[in-house]
Amino acid sequence: MLSDRIVAADSGIIRRGKFVNLTGVAVEIERQSEFREHYFEIMENFYDKYNISLPRSVLKTEDIIKLIPSYDLHEAHIELTENLLKIGNIKRINVTNTILLEKVNTLKGPIDGLDFLKILQSYYPVIPVWRYYWNNSDTAGHVALDGISGRITKAWKFIGKRAEHINIVPYGDLTYPCISLCDLICGYLGKTVNHIDAKEIYEQLKSKTSAFVKSEFIGDTDIEYLASDYPHSLKTERHFPHPLILIHKSKDIDNKIVRETDFFQSLLNFAGKKGGSVSFEDLVNQQIALQKGDCIICLDDEGYSKMNFVERLNPSREIKVLSVEEAYKLMEEKNKQMAL
Side-chain half-sphere exposure of 243, counting CA atoms within 13 A = 22
What pLDDT score does 339 carry?
61
Q: Is the pLDDT of residue 183 over 90?
A: yes
Residue 59 lies in a domain: yes
Residue 232 lies in a domain: no
Q: What is the mean pLDDT of residues 44-69?
A: 94
Q: What is the CATH number of the domain that holds 291?
A: 3.40.50
Pick the last residue of a domain from 195, 226, 257. Answer: 226
Q: Is the pLDDT of residue 91 over 90?
A: yes
Residue 231 lies in a domain: no
219 and 256, same domain (yes or no) = no
Distance of alpha carbon 286 from alpha carbon 197, whole angstroms: 40
79 and 158, same domain (yes or no) = yes
User: pLDDT of 59-73, one tens digit each?
Assistant: 999 999 999 999 999
Residue 305 lies in a domain: yes
92 and 152, same domain (yes or no) = yes
218 and 147, same domain (yes or no) = yes
195 and 247, same domain (yes or no) = no
Pick the last residue of a domain from 176, 198, 226. Answer: 226
Give the pLDDT band of residue 275 (cuts 50, 70, 90).
Answer: very high
94 and 165, same domain (yes or no) = yes
What pLDDT score does 194 carry?
86
User: pLDDT of 136-178, one tens digit each?
Assistant: 999 999 999 999 999 999 999 999 999 999 999 999 999 999 9
What pLDDT score does 309 carry?
85
The set of long-range contacts for 270-273, using a CB threshold of 8 Å and a minimum separation of 24, is 270/245, 270/331, 270/334, 270/335, 271/175, 271/243, 271/245, 272/56, 272/58, 272/175, 272/176, 273/335, 273/338
Total tally of structural domains belonging to the chain: 2
CB atoms closer than 10 angstroms to residue 303: 20
Distance of alpha carbon 268 from alpha carbon 63, whole angstroms: 14
Distance of alpha carbon 174 from alpha carbon 172, whole angstroms: 5
Q: Which residues pair with 109 in a beta bridge?
A: 106
Side-chain half-sphere exposure of 213, counting CA atoms within 13 A = 17
Q: Is the pLDDT of residue 17 over 80?
A: no
Cβ atoms of 23 and 14 closer than 8 Å:
yes
What mean pLDDT, rounded, does the chain reach? 93
In the chain, the percentage of residues whose pLDDT exceeds 70 is: 99
Residue 127 lies in a domain: yes
What pLDDT score does 338 carry?
67
Give the pLDDT band of residue 19 (cuts 50, 70, 90).
Answer: confident
What pLDDT score does 163 carry?
97
11 and 138, same domain (yes or no) = yes
Domain hosting 335: range is: 242-339
3-state SS string over the chain?
A: CCCCCEEEEEEEEEEECCEEEEEEEEEEECCHHHHHHHHHHHHHHHHHHCCCCCCCCCCCHHHHHHHCCCCCHHHHHHHHHHHHHCCCCEEEEEEEEECCCCCEEECCEEECHHHHHHHHHHHCCHHHHHHHHHHCCCCCCEEEEECCCCECCHHHHHHHHHCCEEEEECCHHHCCHHHHHHHHHHHHHHHHCCCCCHHHHHHHHHCCCCCEEEEEECCHHHHHHHCCCCCCECCHHHHCCCCEEEEECCCCCCHHHHHCCHHHHHHHHHHHHHCCEEEECCHHHHHHHCCCCCEEEECCHHHHHHHHHHHHHCHHHCCEEEEHHHHHHHHHHHHHHHHC
124 and 199, same domain (yes or no) = yes
138 and 53, same domain (yes or no) = yes
Residue 1 lies in a domain: no
Q: What is the mean pLDDT of residues 22-33?
A: 97
What pLDDT score does 70 carry?
94
Q: pTM higher than 0.75 for the full model?
A: yes
Phi, psi of 12 (to 5 degrees): -150, 175
Helix 198-206 and helix 177-192, axial crossing angle in degrees, nearest 10: 120
What pLDDT score does 316 carry?
87
320 and 187, same domain (yes or no) = no
Q: What is the mean pLDDT of residues 240-262?
A: 93
Cβ atoms of 210 and 93 closer than 8 Å:
no
208 and 260, same domain (yes or no) = no
Most confidently modeled range among 138-142, 280-284, 316-320: 138-142
Q: What is the mean pLDDT of residues 298-325?
A: 88
Helix 177-192 and helix 73-85, axial crossing angle in degrees, nearest 10: 130
Residue 237 lies in a domain: no
Q: What is the CATH number of the domain that holds 18?
A: 3.30.420
Pick the last residue of a domain from 226, 261, 285. Answer: 226
Distance of alpha carbon 188 from alpha carbon 209, whole angstroms: 14
Give the pLDDT band of residue 266 (cuts 50, 70, 90).
Answer: very high
Residue 109: exposure state from Cβ atoms within 10 A (0-12, 13-18, ≥19): exposed
Residue 307 lies in a domain: yes
CB within 8 Å of 165: residues ≥ 6 apart: 3, 141, 142, 143
Q: Is the dihedral of CA 92, 218, 237, 324 positive or negative?
A: positive
257 and 180, same domain (yes or no) = no
CB atoms closer than 10 angstroms to residue 92: 20
